[in-house]
Amino acid sequence: MKVVVGQGSCGIATGAKKTSNEFERIVAEKNLTNVVIDKTGCIGTCYLEPIVDVYNEEGALEARYVKCTPDKVAEIVDEHLIGGKPVEKYVIPTEDEAFLSQQQRIVLRNCGKINPEKIEEYLAVGGYEAARKVITSMTPDQVIEEIKVSGLRGRGGAGFPTWFKWNAIKSNKGAQKYMVCNADEGDPGAFMDRSVLEGDPHSLLEGMIIGGFAAGATEGIIYCRAEYPLAIARLEIAMAQAREKGYLGKNLFGTDFSFDIRIKAGAGAFVCGEETALIASLEGERGMPRLKPPFPAAKGYWKLPTNINNVETYANVAWIIANGGQAFADRGAEKSKGSKVFALAGKIKKGGLVEVPMGMTLREVIYNIGGGIKNDKEFKAVQMGGPSGGCIPAQLIDTPVTYEDINKTGAIVGSGGMIVMDEDTCMVDMARFFLDFTRKESCGKCNYCRIGTKRMLEILERITKGEGKDGDIELLEELAGKIKDGAMCGLGQTAPNPVLTTIRYFRNEYEDHIYNHKCTAKSCKALIHYEITDDCKGCGKCARNCPVNAITGEKKQVHKIDPNVCIKCGKCEDNCAFGAVKRV
Amino acid sequence: MSNTCGCQNGGNADFAELAPVLEKYAKVPGSLITILQQTQDIYGYLSLDAINYIAERTGIMPAKIYGVATFYAQFRLQPVGKYLIMLCKGTACHVNGSDMVEEAVCEHLGIKDGETTEDGLFTLNNVACLGCCSLAPVMMVKSADGEETYGNLTKSSVKKILDDYKAKNA
Amino acid sequence: MNKFRLNIDGKEVYGLPGQTILEVCRENDIFIPTLCYDERTEIYGACGLCMVEWEGSPKLWKACATEIAPNMVIRTNTKRVFESRKTNLELLLSNHKGDCRPPCMLACPAGTDCQGYVGLIANGQYEEAIKLIRDNIPLPGAIGRVCPHPCEKACRRGLVDEPIAIANLKRFAADTDEFGEDPFVPECEPDTGKNVAVIGGGPYGISMAYFLRQMGHDVTIYEAMPKLGGMLRYGIPEYRLPKEVLDEEIAVLEKMGITMVTNTKIGEDISFEAIKRDFDAVCVGIGAWVSTGVRCKGEDADGVIGGIDFLRKVVRNEKIDLGKNVAIVGGGNTAMDACRTAVRLGADKVYNIYRRTKDEMPADMIEIEEAEEEGVIFLNLTNPLEIISDENGHCRQMVLQVMELGEPDASGRRAPVPVEGKTETIDVDTVILAIGQRVNAEGIDGVELTRKGGIVYDKDTFMTAIPGVFAGGDCGNDKISIAVESIGDAKKSCLVVDAYLRGEEIKYEPNYYVTKKDVTPANSSMQKREKTTSLRLYSAMMKSRQSKKQTAVWNADVKTTLNVSSSAMQICMM
């Protein structure tokens, strides 16, 4: 029997290691020699972590235990591992199974199924067969043709046809060519790449090998962000194992094609997700974008032809070669073929990773798969594309998720982050939040981004503090337009998007803040005040916890908050067991 | 790990620990960031003396190294406390109340973003995203023993986690 | 190499493959602004100022970095391009903390690059220094000696200890050049065929001539006095400004080819009409040479003389019998000049009468201090009430009203109020009234005058009511000030006059500068830093010394020079 404990970063954060250790302890104690404890990557249902899968002797899945904290382990060992009967109350509920069954997992095909630290398990599911096929029996042109048929577009956000990029680097001459993987995943709210890196690193390696063959490159570099130490560790293990078996290194599969990969850790700069900034960082410089043209495919890393693709893009490649480009193209929508991984997070009941065919609507993703809004509150907007994207309002929830349809709304598909927001989220504050992020991450090279984001942020901060002025909205729109026109790289060019989409769809919230001194979502501290309603039972807990003694009241009488003293810390609201403290 | 010494003059004058790193990377073009990362792993931060020493051994101008060190958020030019609290301020965490968690941490420890507690136990750093969005709000605590991630934080749960660390070091 | 055709702003131009849009534009006199572009360096493309529109493309392109293509159509002057540039510059300025230029240069009425020449002198580049000074000041030796140096008041070093000695350094540079072997004479442009008459050979007139002559115009200065210099010669005593210095500087003007007609007063020796007729432009700098009175009883007695008149007489070596007791009324530099001149002429008692205190006197502190050293008796907080004459009508005594300081007036200074009933009487043989000056525009017919008699001129064009007749310096718009202010007037208006001579009408437009307004003594950390660096240096030197005696001496030295405590020294030695 095999007990597999999901140990991606999310799993570990919820205590999966402790669960795994507990299993090992009890299994050893009870001397169960037929039980093997193993690990796997992120299954995707992050909201149910820690997850433990139990497989029987034949390798079939007997039970999937969710929210499996160490205290449940003893019971599972006794009743299931020894007794043979799964503990039903800990098993994944049927309705949550739908979360997984509605997905079409290509990129995440192996995540949650295999142990990422054992190359044998990857090989057992057909790993490196596609690479073998390509290197021993196909030409670079044939490979590129297959990718073209599949319609694969860059999954990092730009959505650029992958075959085109590979063809470009193939046609360029250079002493050495490089295949670079952008594993910087800087978008806050995005963790798709992390799962692939932690859960199925070989799929990335195989994709890069195939890409390298098509491009004529002999060296691959994975630029992985420093905030993913587990991913880097698992990649190193995978690479070492691949080298051992001859899948990386010299003369792969007995041909004269050599290809090896190394990892370069990022150092914490969102702008290094931009390809020329990434190249600068690889060269040991500050991550500041460079002029294009020349494009990296012609002159990139050390001025040699370089191709940069996202982790997810590479992860699709082996599957496409194995199953044919047409199989990929048969899924998804007309211009946006195949499937895409989305990271559902925010005010959603079932947050996690979902891979769905492109063309599914937002409603289907958020409600059918994601289970709807936390606490059944009202859905307000979904933010797509991170700081480069925009907020799509509730009335557009039936928009199909394709590159073109989402672009029409003013947002972008981006890397796949989907942050769901409800009635309590202030959209002006969201715009301010994103501008704060882009301002901090701006590399500082061009005037528009460096200073423009600062000025826009100042205006937004004033508005959220209740100091908005007449003309601020128009000024924001004007500045946004100019910054989009003038900024040097994608960071600056897309930084105004959150502001523009929130103004487009939620102008009333801006106007509320400026002209009515009101925060529509009752979130901005400066524009709300706290009041105690008649639901108050007079228990006095709020008054005891108030740091500035702003609450007065007799025992068992309705209490009162003095607005002149109140500092709006919210402690009263937190402490009230009766929900009597309300924001007005 | 001598990450509590704040002296900028003298201190670790010989940087013996850096020798193997520089052996490997000093002459490899484009390795500056790797060198700085490994230096920070050894000493806990990048002192000016370390930067000058790296400049001498690699031939890269100190000003250039300083420019790279200050560009990337990962590099610290001041020593950090025993526990580095990396509090996630990403979108999902923000939407789920990371600001409140930050308030609780600041109040409980008496420090602000970028500061270290008087007893040298904790340093608080806000980070842009940790990639654990389903567990928002999230923080990672980094120390010599490794990293621990804590999710689904509330004002009270974060205080308890910090108190546990304090108790361990009492 | 095949040149190909492209279209920029509707103009057909040719370029070679590999050239950028910017290069082709520059070859064809099409202006595109840049900030980060320099031919000597690799293209950086950061500032975004050079963006242009490329027909057929939705986005803007950087002219400095985009290679030309055959038949491309570029527009550099569309609304979208202009708005992009404007926003770009606005963003830059919104973040700009200052300073575009240093406070000393901004404080100088003539806009002299003090920072520049001080630096050059520090480098030992005296020749370059004097050339830089002479860009703005034709009389550096004179100004360096007498200017009340508003630059030094603005100098930020003054927030830490003392301002840089800008004026003295100017004097040094001038003396080194003018009394050296080969004094610098500025080059003049080729003759333009235009001629200009300058009326008045004072600071304004000399400067106007100096600047216009450099632009190639033929200049003649008409001066009523026997020699040029104006108030510099006839209002400032020898001990403050030796005439020799002025003579050297006027000699430079001669070498430049400026014609000087002295002893000629307009309206008397030659008519204004004739001047207007014979010259293409006229610049009037007649100064303010009339002393104003004090309006007290008995003012018209003999022996009562105006300050500037007194000083002029002395310069012209005319005989003056001062008597034993001299009283000088006034608190400015002219009054101090008069006091100290009186001392030198042998008066027994020299009184200075001023209705406020010493601290409020407008004269330079150094003048007041030196006057005191020379024995001048300061009767502050007194005001002339009456001048009592003897039987011959010559002044004998002066009754002074004792004053005290009351509430501040419009200028912010505390107004003196008489103390009821209290007076003082002193014996006087001569009373010198150095209170103020007034313009006498007699002879300059046709110009509009102010109520006080000054010549009216437009503040942007410096032109008077008569087209082609300009004015500046003390004689215009009731602006009676210091010499460098008059030089500044000339510097500002010479471009306007030059344009006028070419048939154009322009205005003087000051440059736009951003300045840092928040530098205070509190945040000037220079003092602290300097002390620490010097301490470190001393300690390093100390450690390498053997002799205890030397150490002791140096210890004492450091303590006094840097004013540090013994404990600080101890810490440093460790």
Highest mean predicted confidence (pLDDT) among C96-110, C255-269, C520-534: C255-269
Q: Check residue A215 and give its pLDDT.
A: 94
User: Which chain A residue lies closest to B69 (C-alpha atoms)?
Assistant: A286
A14 touches chain B (CB under 8 A): yes
CB C212 within 8 A of CB C220: no
Q: Given a cut of 70, is residue B5 above it in pLDDT?
A: no
Average pLDDT over residues B22-33: 91
Strand, coil or helix: what is A345?
strand
Asked which of A146-160, A499-513, C407-421, C473-487 is least confident by mean pLDDT, the reply is: C407-421
The two tokens of residue C140 are 């550096």
Q: Given a cut of 70, is residue C220 above it in pLDDT?
A: yes
pLDDT class of C522 with cuts at 50, 70, 90: low
Q: What residues are paired with C75 via a beta bridge?
A: C53
CB C222 within 8 A of CB C261: yes
Q: Does the distance separating the beta carbons of A419 and B92 come in below 8 Å?
A: yes
Fold (CATH) for A339-422: Ubiquitin-like (UB roll) (3.10.20)
Q: Given a cut of 70, is residue C548 above it in pLDDT?
A: no
CB C29 within 8 A of CB C8: no
Q: What residues are paired with A379 via a beta bridge?
A: A422
Q: What is the dihedral of CA C193, C130, C202, C198, to 10 degrees?
A: 10
Min Cα distance B27 → chain A (Å) is 12
Q: In this structure, which CATH number among 1.10.10.10, 1.10.10.60, 3.30.1330.30, 1.20.1440.230 belongs to the domain A427-515? A: 1.20.1440.230
Q: Given a cut of 70, is residue A529 above it in pLDDT?
A: yes
A178 touches chain B (CB under 8 A): no
A27 phi and psi, to 5 degrees?
A: -60, -40
- Cα–Cα distance, A128 to A209 (Å, whole number): 9
Q: Check residue C571 and give its pLDDT.
A: 46
CA distances to A225, B3, B16, C140 from A178, in Å: 19, 38, 35, 66
User: Which superfamily, per CATH, for A2-94?
Assistant: Glutaredoxin (3.40.30.10)
Report H helices in A87-189.
94-101, 119-124, 129-137, 140-150, 162-171
User: Which chain B residue lies closest to A570 (C-alpha atoms)?
Assistant: B100
Rounded percentage of chain C residues whose pLDDT exceeds 70? 91
pLDDT class of C569 with cuts at 50, 70, 90: very low
A404 touches chain B (CB under 8 A): no
CB A425 within 8 A of CB B95: yes
Query: Taking all residues of chain B, what is their mean pLDDT, rounded to a whole number?
Result: 85
More reliable by pLDDT, A444 or C560: A444
- Cα–Cα distance, C258 to C274 (Å, whole number): 19
Q: Does the distance separating the beta carbons of C48 and A448 come in below 8 Å?
A: yes
* CATH architecture, domain C195-286+442-501: 3-Layer(bba) Sandwich (3.50)
Min Cα distance A252 → chain B (Å) is 26
Average pLDDT over residues C517-524: 70
Q: Does the distance separating the beta carbons of B92 and A346 come in below 8 Å?
A: yes
**Domain C291-437 carries which CATH code?**
3.50.50.60
- Cα–Cα distance, A350 to C508 (Å, whole number): 71
Other C-beta atoms lying within 10 Å of the C-beta of residue C222? 24
Q: A371 in the Ramachandran plot: left (φ > 0), alpha (ψ -120 to 50) or beta?
A: left
A392 touches chain B (CB under 8 A): no
Residues in chain A: 584
Q: Check residue B12 and give its pLDDT.
A: 53
* CATH architecture, domain C103-178: Orthogonal Bundle (1.10)
- The interface predicted TM-score of the complex, written ipTM, equals 0.85
- Cα–Cα distance, A28 to A225 (Å, whole number): 38
Pick from C22, C64, C84, C87 the residue to mutate for testing the A interface (most A CBs within 10 Å).
C87
Min Cα distance B65 → chain A (Å) is 9
Q: Does the distance separating the beta carbons of A291 and C47 come in below 8 Å?
A: no
- Cα–Cα distance, A67 to A436 (Å, whole number): 35
In the block, residue with structure tokens 């572009």: C37
Pick from A236, A419, A548 the residue to mutate for testing the B interface (most B CBs within 10 Å).
A419
- Cα–Cα distance, A129 to A560 (Å, whole number): 72
Other C-beta atoms lying within 10 Å of the C-beta of residue A219? 18
Q: What residues are paired with A183 via a beta bridge?
A: A224
Q: Check residue B16 and give its pLDDT.
A: 86
Largest CA distance in chain C: 103
For helices B155-168 and B98-109, angle between their N-to-C axes, nearest 10 degrees = 40
Question: Which candidate from C45, C92, C94 shows the least CB-CB separation from A291?
Answer: C45
The two tokens of residue A537 are 């039972």
> For A320-345, b where at least 16 C-beta lie within 10 A, e where not — what string?
bbeeebeebbebbbeebbbbbbbbbb
Average pLDDT over residues A184-189: 86
Chain A residues touching C87 at Cβ < 8 A: 448, 478-479, 482, 486
Class (C level, CATH) for A119-328 = alpha beta
Q: Given a cut of 90, is residue B127 above it in pLDDT?
A: no
Query: Taking all residues of chain C, what is their mean pLDDT, rounded to a whole number?
Result: 89
Query: Any idea where the domains of chain B sit in the sequence?
Result: 16-71, 83-168
Q: Check residue C180 and give its pLDDT.
A: 87
Element (H, E) at C62: strand C60-62
Q: Given a cut of 50, is residue B10 above it in pLDDT?
A: no
C128 phi and psi, to 5 degrees?
A: -65, -35
CB pairs under 8 A between A and B: 143
Residues in chain C: 574
pLDDT tens digit sequence for A190-249? 888 999 999 999 999 999 999 999 999 999 999 999 888 889 999 999 999 999 999 999
Question: Which candidate from C43, C67, C84 shows the least CB-CB separation from A486?
Answer: C84
Chain C residues touching A492 at Cβ < 8 A: none
- Cα–Cα distance, C246 to C237 (Å, whole number): 12
- Cα–Cα distance, B101 to B152 (Å, whole number): 10
- Cα–Cα distance, C58 to C60 (Å, whole number): 7
Q: Given a cut of 70, is residue A183 above it in pLDDT?
A: yes
A485 touches chain C (CB under 8 A): yes
Tell me whether the omega of the peptide bond preceding residue C140 falls within 30 degrees of 0, making it cis.
no
Q: Does the distance separating the beta carbons of A570 and B100 come in below 8 Å?
A: yes
Pairing between strand A530-532 and A581-583?
A: antiparallel
Question: Which candidate from C47, C65, C92 shows the least CB-CB separation from A291?
Answer: C65
Min Cα distance A8 → chain B (Å) is 10
In the block, residue with structure tokens 């480098």: C123
In chain A, CATH 3.40.50.11540 covers: 119-328
CB A99 within 8 A of CB A92: no
Q: Given a cut of 80, is residue C533 above it in pLDDT?
A: no
Q: Given a cut of 90, is residue A42 above it in pLDDT?
A: no
Pairing between strand C195-199 and C281-284?
A: parallel
Pick from B58, B86, B95 the residue to mutate for testing the A interface (most A CBs within 10 Å).
B95
A285 touches chain C (CB under 8 A): no
Q: Check residue C536 and give its pLDDT.
A: 52
Tell me whether the omega of the peptide bond preceding residue B20 falls within 30 degrees of 0, making it cis.
no
Q: What residues are paired with A36 via a beta bridge?
A: A2
**Domain C4-94 carries which CATH code?**
3.10.20.740
Q: Check residue A535 and give its pLDDT.
A: 87
The two tokens of residue A447 are 């005037």
Q: Does the distance separating the beta carbons of A383 and B133 come in below 8 Å?
A: no
Asked which of A72-86, A469-483, A567-581, C486-500 is least confident by mean pLDDT, the reply is: A567-581
Q: Given a cut of 60, is residue C240 above it in pLDDT?
A: yes
pLDDT class of B9 with cuts at 50, 70, 90: very low
CB A280 within 8 A of CB A271: no
- Cα–Cα distance, B85 to A111 (Å, whole number): 29
Strand, coil or helix: what is C327?
strand
CB A570 within 8 A of CB B100: yes
The two tokens of residue A432 are 């301010």
In the block, residue with structure tokens 């005593």: C237
In chain A, CATH 1.20.1440.230 covers: 427-515
User: Which chain C residue lies closest to A454 (C-alpha atoms)?
Assistant: C95
Q: What DSSP designation does A139 have?
A: -
Chain C residues touching A446 at Cβ < 8 A: 46-48
The two tokens of residue C416 are 């003196």
Sign of CA dihedral A569, A572, A577, A580: negative
Residues 6+ apart with CB under 8 A from A58: none
Fold (CATH) for B83-168: Glutaredoxin (3.40.30)
Min Cα distance C45 → chain A (Å) is 7
A419 touches chain B (CB under 8 A): yes
Give ∠ CA A187-A188-A190 in degrees, rounded to 5. Answer: 70
Chain C residues touching A482 at Cβ < 8 A: 83-84, 87-88
Q: Given a cut of 90, is residue C173 above it in pLDDT?
A: yes
Give ∠ CA C148-C150-C152 in degrees, rounded to 5. Answer: 95
A451 touches chain C (CB under 8 A): yes
Residues 6+ apart with CB under 8 A from C42: none
Average pLDDT over residues C203-219: 97
A186 touches chain B (CB under 8 A): yes
Strand, coil or helix: what is C494?
helix
Question: Which candidate from A10, A282, A383 shows the least CB-CB separation from B135?
Answer: A10
Q: Given a cut of 90, is residue C35 above it in pLDDT?
A: yes
Chain A residues touching C94 at Cβ < 8 A: 451, 455
A47 touches chain B (CB under 8 A): yes
pLDDT tens digit sequence for C404-440? 988 887 877 788 889 898 999 999 999 999 998 999 9
pLDDT class of C95 with cuts at 50, 70, 90: confident
C43 touches chain A (CB under 8 A): yes
Q: Given a cut of 80, is residue A1 above it in pLDDT?
A: yes
Q: Does the distance separating the beta carbons of C91 and A447 come in below 8 Å?
A: yes
Q: Does the distance separating the beta carbons of A446 and C48 come in below 8 Å?
A: yes
Residue C351: exposure state from Cβ atoms within 10 A (0-12, 13-18, ≥19) = buried
Strands of C414-427's sheet, edge to edge?
C382-389, C395-408, C414-427
Q: Check residue B8 and give its pLDDT.
A: 47
Other C-beta atoms lying within 10 Å of the C-beta of residue C115? 17
Min Cα distance A147 → chain B (Å) is 29
Q: A105 in the Ramachandran plot: left (φ > 0), alpha (ψ -120 to 50) or beta?
A: beta
Query: Taking all residues of chain A, what is their mean pLDDT, rounded to a whole number?
Result: 91
Identity (one letter) of the amino acid at A210? I
Question: Which candidate from B29, B96, B135 shows the least CB-CB separation from A14?
Answer: B135
Q: Check residue C565 and give its pLDDT.
A: 46
pLDDT class of C545 with cuts at 50, 70, 90: very low
Q: Does the distance separating the beta carbons of A440 and B95 come in below 8 Å?
A: no
- Cα–Cα distance, A435 to B32 (Å, whole number): 30
Q: Does the distance separating the beta carbons of A13 and B33 come in below 8 Å?
A: no
pLDDT tens digit sequence for C256-281? 999 999 999 999 999 999 999 999 99
CA distances to A159, A380, C89, C469 from A372, in Å: 28, 12, 48, 84
B147 phi and psi, to 5 degrees?
A: -120, 145
Q: What DSSP designation does C66 have?
A: P
Pairing between strand A379-384 and A390-393?
A: antiparallel
Min Cα distance A304 → chain C (Å) is 18
Chain A residues touching C88 at Cβ < 8 A: 447-448, 482, 486
Q: Given a cut of 60, is residue C567 above it in pLDDT?
A: no
Q: Does the distance separating the beta carbons of C95 and A485 come in below 8 Å?
A: no
Chain B residues touching A17 at Cβ < 8 A: none
Q: Given a cut of 50, is residue C568 above it in pLDDT?
A: no
Q: Does the distance separating the beta carbons of A486 and C87 come in below 8 Å?
A: yes
Q: Given a cut of 90, is residue C118 above it in pLDDT?
A: yes
The two tokens of residue C266 are 């307009």
Q: A403 in the Ramachandran plot: left (φ > 0), alpha (ψ -120 to 50) or beta?
A: alpha
Average pLDDT over residues A136-148: 95
Average pLDDT over residues B94-112: 88
- Cα–Cα distance, A435 to A496 (Å, whole number): 8
Chain A residues touching C45 at Cβ < 8 A: 291, 488
Strand, coil or helix: what is A498?
helix
Q: Check residue C539 and give its pLDDT.
A: 53
A100 touches chain B (CB under 8 A): no
Rounded percentage of chain C residues whose pLDDT exceeds 90? 74
